[in-house]
Amino acid sequence: MKLLCRLKTSPSLHPTNLLPDRNLNPAANRRAAEQRCLSLLRSCSAARCLSQLHAYILKHGLLTNPLVLTKFTSTASDLNAVDYASAIVFSPEADTSLYDTFLFNTIIRAYALNKDVKAVGLFNSMLRFGALPNQFTYPFVLKACAAIGDLKLGRAVHGSAVKFGLNENSHVRNTLVHVYGSCVGGIECARKLFDEIPSQDSVSWSAMIGGYVRAGQSADAVALFRKMQVSGVKPDEITMVLVLSACADLGALECGRWVESFIVRERVERSVELCNALIGMFAKCGDLKNALRVFRDMDDKTIVSWTSVIGGMAMHGYGSESVALFEEMINARVVPDDVAFIGLLSACSHSGLVQEGRKYFNLMKEKFGIEPKIEHYGCLVDLLCRGGLIKEAVEFVDRMPIEPNPIIWRTLTSMCRAQGELELGERISKKLIEEEPMRESNYVLLSNIYAKTSRWEKKTKIREAMDTRGMRKVPGSTLIELDNEIYEFVAGDKSHDQYEKIYEMVDEMGKEMRRAGYLPSTSEVLLDIDEEDKEDALNRHSEKLAIAFALLKTPPGTPIRIVKNLRVCNDCHSATKFISKVYKREIIVRDRSRFHHFKDGVCSCRDFW
């Protein structure tokens, strides 16, 4: 019987050498068979060989050998065949007396690494069969809880660890921080556990920083990283990747640059994952030049490397450059995936490359065999809308082979309002409200259309409907990094200790802009009030407050970088162009869909966003 493909090149493991030795007694033969089987398992490198090994185990009566059974399970796990091993171990004919802690840990670990909830079910079976969990069991089970984001389950496993007196173990504690940090409602509990750790290592810090990043509290992640520096604990590669992700979220370029300098200074190995994180950070912080530098310096580029830089180009509106990079990727024989096409189609959309976008959308399936997902259809709808082809976009949506999602309908509605197709926009908005009655953005879209046509009574009814349902419009907010601190401004913000000086600067900006020819776009203010009050409301927008603060706090000529949580409005876009010219500042604005580089009264988006 041919047991393994590798047996041909290993004479000592040839089938003829696996037969019992008649000169040995039965006990010695069983011992020899066990050692031969363990040797075969160590050399096993393909899942297809497991069935042959299973047959060998059965033939030589080794299914009751705990060492062989555990090694078989471990090998199957390494070959992504844990279900096969689990079916054998827990078959009706299995000897339950062999179910020990090490065997359960092996299978639980395999399921946990695959982020499979079966790890938790197996943990319950472990307790039911009387196998005692140890300090290795809980980290595996908790990682499975973290992967599925089940806070209640994580708390239950935590309680079990306390029961068995293992919650004080450093590995268990670190994983508890990770599991609470991976379930958003548990972030405060994660921080409490983290603060109680007597000797925090890089794993502890990374777990807590990662929890803040996943919870959307990136400012807290950066602040904690700074505490880590003071503590003297050296961050590892995982910490660096997490901090770079936080910097990217905040648009904290200076912090991101410091992280790169730290990597260079401490000679941290620049893995592909770390380089990809650097590309993402620079691109999302508005420093495309350095994003490209890191990309070009990489010896080994993965599909993630390519999609990161293509997506970065798209965010900055460099459509032609994104297309060129995509073609370069193809020439480098890197097969594009669906994410690469999302970045490419987005780049075409933000640059008005309608024909190119159509071409690549068709090539996706025709040449590369990638079936378009709803995200790809959404990109093409956005492309057509931004190109002024509203009716074609509606026809395209009607022909889609899959049901359009609310995002696509909202895209159509927004563009209908922007391009004057108000009747169509009203119909779509009403349809959205019927389908998603508790989604506040649907009501805001319809309210905006009524305001555009000065139908104030209908607009008021929409707002009243929102109030009745307890819904509120998401407030605009803007982040800015200055002197290693992250500041946040919201519309009409007076929480800053220098708010009086900031508002004085806003007034000065308004006067200087008017001298240069600026006229407020009061149609942006969706209230039935007089023009003077509307202008005052516009001046309180969060980005204007952040820019005023930057003008007060930075030397003349210094670039200003801000991050807006919403799409920048027409008035703020117009005003920022004038501010860049009047104050001779380059102003980089990242809103929720793209970057705007303002310089000398001109925006890089060419007023196309």
Read off the pLDDT of each residue in 63-68 and give the average, rounded to a whole number.
Answer: 83
Which residues are CB-neighbours of 27 under 8 A, at least 6 positions away?
none
pLDDT at 600 > cutoff 70: yes
Question: Using alpha carbons only, what angle is made at residue 406 by residues 402 and 407, rounded to the nearest 5 degrees?
Answer: 95
The distance from CA 472 to its chain's CA centroid, rounded to whole angstroms, is 26
Tokens (6 digits) for 240:
């660096």
Mean pLDDT throughout 277-294?
Answer: 96
Mean per-residue pLDDT, 59-68: 84
Residues near 598 by beta carbon (within 8 Å), at least 6 away in sequence: 576, 577, 579, 580, 586, 587, 588, 589, 604
Average pLDDT over residues 416-441: 85
pTM (whole model) above 0.75: yes
CB of 378 within 8 A of CB of 411?
yes
- How far apart (Å, rounded) are the C-alpha atoms in residues 95 and 403? 52
Give me the pLDDT at residue 525, please.
55
Give the model's pLDDT for residue 24.
54
Tell me the pLDDT band of 63, cut-offs 50, 70 and 90.
confident
From the number of C-beta atoms within 10 Å of its C-beta (0-12, 13-18, 19+), residue 333 rates as exposed
Q: Among 219-223, 247-251, 337-341, 460-464, name the one with the lowest average pLDDT.
A: 460-464
Least confident of 90-104, 195-209, 484-498, 538-552: 90-104
CA 602 to chain centre: 32
Q: Which of 20-29, 429-438, 471-480 has the lowest mean pLDDT?
A: 20-29
Residue burial 156-181, b: 16+ Cβ < 10 Å; e: rest = ebbebbeeeebbebeebbbbbbbbbb
Flag whether pLDDT at 8 surpasses 50.
no
How far is residue 8's CA from residue 216's CA, in Å, rounded to a whole number? 55
Structure confidence by residue, pLDDT tens digits, 251-264: 999 999 999 999 99
Q: What are the structure tokens assigned to 519, written together? A: 């006229």
Of the candidates 250, 244, 249, which has an alpha carbon nearest to the alpha carbon of residue 263? Answer: 244
Residue 7 has pLDDT above 70, yes or no: no
